[in-house]
A = this chain, B = another copy of it.
Amino acid sequence: PGKPLSQMEKFMAKANEIGVEDPRKVIHSMKVGLTITLVSLFYYFRPLYAEDFEVLSSMSTLMTVVAVFEFSVGATIGKILNSGLGTLVACGLGLAARHLAHFAGRTYESIILGTLVFIQAAATTYVRFFPKVKARYDHGATVFMLTFCLVSVSGFEMDEMVKWLQDRIVSVLLGATICVMVSIIVFPVWAGEELHRLVARNMENLGSFMEDLEAKCFTASKEGDSRNGESFFVGLNHVIDSKTNLENLVNFARWEPSHGQFRYFHPWKLYLKIGKLTSQCACRVELLNAYLNSTTQTPGDVTLPGAATSKCPHSRVFNFRDSHKAPQELRATFQEASSLLSLECGKALKELAWSIDTMIKLPSPSRHVTNLTIASDNIKNLLNSDSWEGWADSSQTILLVGVASLLTDIAFCVKTIDEAVNKLG
């Protein structure tokens, strides 16, 4: 008897978790509830069976609200435009199909209609396999298919048909207007703002990760490290994996009217570009992380790690602190340069994230980007100098060079991101 209860508890815990994580989801549910109640009651007080077409149009309005009301304003407007466009085009083509079939005479009418319906349905279904159509016009395709069939095949006379269409269009418009009003006026969730925040947050996370990496791997040991590697690794995965989410948000944001600091023709594509650059940079930082933390197993210490553990089982091999085999001066110079560059990359990323978040333009080039260029040039000079020539065979040389060149590579990425952010202005 305890089982359904514990199931219920789990359910409530999950519901609570979702609500706490993003309270706007609770508000959104309230908004949908309110809208649907309004529409329902509107029809409750105008009995449905009063007129022939009322049943249909009440259903249309409700269907519109249920189908169209999405979490963000952009997604809602996008679906409404899809519905509207789909309905209009379908009505036009459907009526044309009827006329065509009508001219052909009684005998061929059904054959022609059938053929046209078949072509339409097959073509629409096929077009939905296009990735771009799938992403933006999927709902419109469904509405188009349904409306075309109803219009072309229905047995209505022409005047009935026109009345039916009018009714349907009015009811869809009614539903759409209510949805847009509620979605914009009551605690709106803008896809554009979400996109903006996601891009800034990803960049900020990447910056923090780099600063953290610097603190853990390049500077002298501080035992009181407050952050733990596991959770940061997860954060980086989020940054790398957010591509689908970014693309969805860009698709939604382009439907949104001006709001707050965002004009109608806000360069959403540029956000997508910055997001992708950030994710590319995150890939390189992950590689650097793997480099710095890869296996240090010395002979006699080889254990087969379990595949079940989600974390990479290798402990840190290559740690500047422990690299007592490289010559002291060389080590110190490289450590300092790498540490500086890594720190500046992290700071520059955080600064850029701040600039995106607050929409305050940075001076170009900004302080940290300048520092980063100097630090990067410094490392390149170090690599080109002959101060370490005698040590080319040393056990640490290859790793030193590897880390240093990855760092200059990351610095280049950060500079590219800086350029893209400056274009945002």
Contacts and interface: CB of A to CB of B under 8 A. Distances in A.
Interface in A373-418: 376, 380, 383-386, 388-389, 392-395, 397-399, 401-402, 405-406, 408-409, 412-413, 416
Contacts of A67: 142
A21 B67 CA distance: 32
Interface in A142-159: 142, 145-146, 149-150, 152-156
Interface in A280-322: 280, 287, 290-291, 294-300, 302, 304-307, 312-314, 317-318
Main secondary structure of the interface of A (DSSP, over half): helix
Contact of A110 (B45, B129, B149): B45
Given A36-B121, A45-B110, A384-B300, A66 B307 contact: no
A56 B55 CA distance: 8
Contacts of A26: 126
B62 A405 contact: no
A401 B297 contact: yes
Nearest to A116: B37
A30 to B, nearest CB: 6
Given A25-B126, A55-B56, A393-B325, A295 B44 contact: no
Contacts of A58: 150, 154
B401 A298 contact: yes
Contacts of A380: 302, 304
A425 interface: no
Contact of A150 (B49, B62, B300): B62
Interface in A331-346: none
A173 interface: no
A129 B18 contact: yes
Interface of A: 14-15, 18-19, 25-26, 28-30, 32-37, 39-41, 43-45, 47-49, 52, 55-56, 58-59, 62-63, 66-67, 110, 113-114, 117-123, 125-127, 129-130, 142, 145-146, 149-150, 152-156, 160, 277, 280, 287, 290-291, 294-300, 302, 304-307, 312-314, 317-318, 325, 376, 380, 383-386, 388-389, 392-395, 397-399, 401-402, 405-406, 408-409, 412-413, 416
- List 8 A-B pairs, minimum CB-CB distance, nearest first: A33-B122, A47-B155, A29-B126, A36-B121, A33-B121, A29-B125, A40-B153, A32-B125
Given A298-B392, A302-B383, A314-B406, 13 more contacts: A28-B125, A32-B122, A33-B123, A36-B118, A40-B153, A41-B114, A45-B110, A55-B56, A58-B154, A277-B307, A304-B380, A307-B413, A314-B409
